Amino acid sequence: MAKVTMIEAINRAHAWELAHDPTVVVLGEDVGVNGGVFRATAGLQEKFGKHRVQDTPLAEGMIAGMSIGMASQGLRPVAEIQFMGFIYPAMDQIANHMARMRHRTRGRITCPVVVRMPHGGGIHAPEHHSESLEAMLAHHPGLRVVCPSSPARAYGLLLAAIRDPDPVMFLEPVRLYRLVRQEVADDGQALPLDVCFRLREGSDVTIVTWGAMTFEVMRAAEQLQKDGVSCEVIDLATISPIDHDTILESVAKTGRLVIVHEAPRNCGVGAEIAATVAEHGLYDLQAPIKRVTGYDTIMPLFRLEYDYIPSVARIVDAVRDTLAE
């Protein structure tokens, strides 16, 4: 089995699906000749041709709108938004049409579109290139929001997203693209959507996170283990709909919950998780729920980037706070 980076895993998932499903079409800015600004689609146009892998103008609204048209005519478009901060021009098409197509046509037409986009910061990029907008997307009924945290999950969840009959917003943690390698079998096996992945089993506290923050959380868990604190780490993976059952079962076991996300705190997905645990798991809680998040301000430029992104130390402190109760 090959050890691949997340970007290579994403490339392979595209290639597998292009080879095995003739309705799959890849489109976006620079995805063809250039192979994508992060190389996610490198070599695909050469291999599958200009009709299957299409370069588009710099017009996100058009990319989303064209994808809806393709999908309603039987294709399975996989669109790339070059950076998550560039999604706003596409939101009208995504929110008002893509997310509603099944509802509007009473199930006669579904919208099997995947919109891929880099998520989060950590690569010293300029403004508008480091956003974490998952809460905005998750707030729209009709959109599935997925965020892998390893090469294997990027491969398996992207395949599942492309095969899903409804629109999937596929958020790729940009700083994980080349951070590590992992053995990933290029066998076309999808992973399940709408479930969490437990990355570490523990008994003292449940930490729920997703995307690139899983790396800081796993490091924090290792550090805490040295002091005898046993953390259960849950990767949300599908941000909408949330697999609340897994979280509630874990909280019932540990009695403590810390939620970690890079996005700003205010109205973040962490608030939704905390509210659901308060509604359905309150009697299991032995301590108040803690959130470790980005701050309620614009993601700073690169010099302060890592002051914004939750650090291992902040996560460790939050866990210790809940254990002190």
* The only residue of 79, 152, 220, 318 in contact with another protein, by rule CB under 8 A: 152
Residue 211 beta carbon to another protein: minimum distance, rounded to whole angstroms = 14
- CA-based angle 133:135:140, to the nearest 5? 110
The count of chain residues that interact with another protein, using the rule CB under 8 A, is 56
Contact 119, 172 (CB under 8 A): yes
Looking at this protein, which amino acid is placed at residue 220? A
* The only residue of 187, 222, 249, 279 in contact with another protein, by rule CB under 8 A: 249
Question: In 10 A of CB 198, how many CB atoms?
Answer: 14
Catalytic residue check, 129: yes
Question: In 10 A of CB 228, how many CB atoms?
Answer: 7
Question: Of residues 97, 119, 129, 261, which has the active-site annotation?
Answer: 129
* The only residue of 222, 227, 245, 296 in contact with another protein, by rule CB under 8 A: 245
Backbone Cα Rg of the chain: 19
| Residue among 135 and 196 whose Cβ is closer to another protein | 196
* The only residue of 125, 147, 154, 220 in contact with another protein, by rule CB under 8 A: 125
Q: Does 50 bind another protein (CB under 8 A)?
A: no
Q: Does 223 bind another protein (CB under 8 A)?
A: no
Contact 32, 72 (CB under 8 A): no
Cβ neighbours of residue 72 closer than 8 Å, sequence gap 6 or more? 101, 109, 111
| Residue among 37 and 62 whose Cβ is closer to another protein | 37
| Residue among 134 and 235 whose Cβ is closer to another protein | 235
* The only residue of 54, 56, 250, 293 in contact with another protein, by rule CB under 8 A: 250
- Among 111, 110, 129, which Cα is nearest to 120's? 129
Q: Does 3 bind another protein (CB under 8 A)?
A: yes
Catalytic residues: 129
